[in-house]
Amino acid sequence: MRRRTGLTHAAVAAALLIGSWAAAGTLPASAQEAPSSAAAAASEPASPGLLDAMQRDLGLTRAEAEDRLAAERRATALAPRARKTAGSAYGGAWFDARSGRLTVAVTPDADATTVRTLRESGAAVRTVEHTERQLDTAKSRLDRLDAPAGVASWAVDPAVNSVVVNVVENARTDNDVRAFVRTARAAGPVTVRTVEDAPSTFAAGTVGGDPYYTGNVRCSIGFSVHGGFVTAGHCGGVGQQVRGWDGSYIGNFQGSSFPDNDYAWVNVGSGWWTVPVVLGWGTVSDQLVRGSAEAPVGASICRSGSTTHWHCGRVLAKNETVNYAQGAVHQMTKTSVCAEGGDSGGSFISGDQAQGVTSGGWGNCSSGGETWFQPVNEILNRYGLTLHTA
């Protein structure tokens, strides 16, 4: 953040992150440190603002929101251990909000000891036909295909035990779409679903008073890293200059990838600094970031962006390939959270754990829709960055 005097709290909140948290950072946490970060955060109380947002967007009571966050922390910590326990029989896992437990899928060749160990750890166990490796192999075959515009995305859905191909509703009878689906079915277990509209990125033209600009494009900051911040790749190319909410120079894109990926990072200098905070925009309290443990499918998740500010929903799918007009983007996470133009690059957070940066989606925050993000740990590992944590 740029050091300035005479600013109101609201004006400061529109800057890189928020100045009142400038001294909050202590030891950094890298992507590899995420599981222990989640464990350390398990005892931290949820902020009133986060609970309010979950009540509003997920239809929960306050007690239900508190119970769900606690259950999601347990599921997040259990997920990597469950994968290791299931071994070659592992078929995926997801958080079941109704039971408050992690469900682990295993194939019939999982022995009784494995199943018993999983259940004793607190997981529910479901027997499925295909392993996660088989499903990932089928999806990778689809990733090598050229998808027509009427195919929105595809991903492995562990609960369905299939690769789910999402087709835009009004394109179901398109010959190219039908040909893609036929080829996809030949690649492995495939289920076809329809969605309302095609995905698009959430960049926007310049609008005054919002976090950062590249040329005539406005996007949103994702998460602070030591030396800069991460954001969406479609917001700018390597070397492009970035200006802050006040028009002053922040830095330049040091790395950027789009399509294929949708991530980037920007260095910070010229009087700006980084802080481990996600803006609540007055809707909720500004949220401290304490790590980047990956939330399971089914977990609650919230998003902060410069256009629609703060909204919450659920994780719907992981490792999804999204077919934008500019080309396919891989390894995305799909959510039920809404977003609009200008929200691109903004923060997805689950509890106090960073999840990813907003890429694109369909719909809006009036009628609803779906949104994808690029997982933050992939960005940290790709560029050798360290997340700035509280």
Residue that has been written with the tokens 């940066």 in this structure: 357
Cβ atoms of 294 and 76 closer than 8 Å: yes
Distance of alpha carbon 37 from alpha carbon 350, whole angstroms: 13
Q: Which of 57, 157, 262, 286 is catalytic?
A: 262
Residue 237 vs residues 31, 194, 241, 255, 256: alpha-carbon distances, Å: 24, 33, 9, 7, 6
Is 344 a residue of the active site? yes
Q: How many CB atoms lie under 10 A from the CB of residue 367?
A: 8
Is 234 a residue of the active site? yes
Q: Which DSSP category does 281 fall into?
A: B
Q: In the Cβ-directed half-sphere of 81, how many Cα atoms lie within 13 Å? A: 15
User: What sign for the dihedral angle of Cα 210, 231, 77, 388?
Assistant: negative
- Residue 317 is inside which H or E element, if any? strand 309-324
Residue that has been written with the tokens 């494009």 in this structure: 217
- Two tokens, residue 98: 């109704």
Q: DSSP states of 224-246 as a string?
A: EETTEEEE-GGG--TT-EEE-TT
- Two tokens, residue 4: 């300035």
Q: DSSP states of 328-362 as a string?
A: EEEEEEEES----TT-TT-EEEETTEEEEEEEEEE
Is 330 a residue of the active site? no
Distance of alpha carbon 363 from alpha carbon 338, whole angstroms: 7
Q: Which DSSP category does 319 fall into?
A: E
Q: Which of 153, 224, 336, 344 is catalytic?
A: 344
Q: Which of 52, 157, 210, 234 is catalytic?
A: 234
User: What is the set of active-site residues?
Assistant: 234, 262, 344
